[in-house]
Amino acid sequence: METLRFIGDNASLILYLTVQHISIVGVAVGLAILTGVPIGIAITQNRRVADAVLYVAAIIMTIPSVALFGILMPVLSLTGHGIGYLPAVIAVLLYSQLPIIRNTYTAITNVDPALREAARGMGMRPWQRLWRVEIPLAVPVIMAGVRVAVVINIGITAIAAYIGAGGLGTLISRGISQTDQRQLVAGALAVSLLAIVADYALLWTQRRLTPAGVRA
């Protein structure tokens, strides 16, 4: 009850923090798509490179977020952005690579070889094959990777509050340090809700982007 009252009294603050949270995840995952999808496509050309890239991305994924912030801080301090928005975005960008690169790579390599053969035999150039056949067919799986990246990183961004990046984690960290259950619960609820809403919104986008001929 008290929590609800707190939420009602602080609606504008919660909204502000939510927007901040979305901005970190949105910008970082957006950049991750711009880098991860081309990398995922590029590594389909060479099995050994693909294995190496996926291995590195998997290792990044295993670094605890607090440790990653710790690593980024001294490096970024050289540019004067050791704490705050920038390290948060970079961390989320790095964590997003694995699901996006891996799903892109899997989706492209799983395109039926007969389609590739038909495309080649009909005289499509490699770019035409990619744009007109392989990418359209890979979209659902790539989007599934983006969804995973977004949901994971909405959670990770909550921790970025500790390096002053703002976002809904601010409520949680304050709740802990001030032993204020209301803030803690409100922050946790907001993060969970945001993850669920974002996942559904992306699922809808995924369906819209999937070519009609392959929609389930």
Partner 1 sequence: MITLDNLTKIFNTSMGPVTAADRVCMEVAEGEVCVLLGPSGCGKTTTLKMVNRLIEKTSGKILVGGRDTDTIDAVELRRTMGYVIQQIGLFPNMTVEENIGVVPRMLGWDSQRIRKRAVELLEMMALSPAVFLRRYPRELSGGQQQRVGVARALAADPPVLIMDEPFGAIDPINREVIQDEFLKMQQTLRKTILFVSHDIDEAVKMADKIAIFRGGKLEQFDSPDNVLAHPANSFIADFVGGDRTLKRLRLLKVRDVLNADSPSVRADESLDIAVRRMHEHDQGHIVVTDQDGRPTGCVLLADAVGRHGAAGDHARALPSPVRLDADLRGAVSSMFTHDAEWLPCVDEAGIFRGQITQRGITHRLGDTYRAAAHAAAVPADDGRPVAPQHFRGAAE
* 207 makes contact with partner 1 (CB under 8 A): no
Stretch that binds partner 1, among 27-35, 80-88, 131-139, 179-187 (CB under 8 A): 131-139
The distance of closest approach from Cβ of residue 196 to partner 1 in the complex, given in angstroms and rounded to an integer, is 30
Residue number, 60 or 139, with CB nearest to partner 1: 139
Alpha-carbon span 66 to 115, nearest angstrom: 45
- Work out how close the CB of 51 gets to partner 1 at its nearest, in angstroms, rounded to a whole number: 19
Q: Is 208 in the site for partner 1 (CB under 8 A)?
A: no
> 74 by DSSP, 3-state: which?
helix
Q: Going residue by residue from 91 to 120, which x/- string records binding to partner 1, judged by CB under 8 A?
A: ---------------------x-xx-xxxx
Q: What gap in Å lies between CA 7 and CA 4, rounded to an integer?
A: 5
Between CA 29 and CA 93 the distance in angstroms is 6
- Residue 84 or residue 136: which is nearer to partner 1 going by CB? 136
What's the sign of the alpha-carbon dihedral 120, 122, 124, 129? Answer: negative
Alpha helices in the chain (DSSP H): 2-9, 11-42, 47-62, 65-77, 85-109, 113-121, 126-129, 135-159, 169-177, 181-209
Q: Decide whether 173 or 210 has the Cβ nearer to partner 1.
A: 210
Residues in the site for partner 1, rule: CB under 8 A?
112, 114-115, 117-125, 128, 132-133, 136-137, 211-214
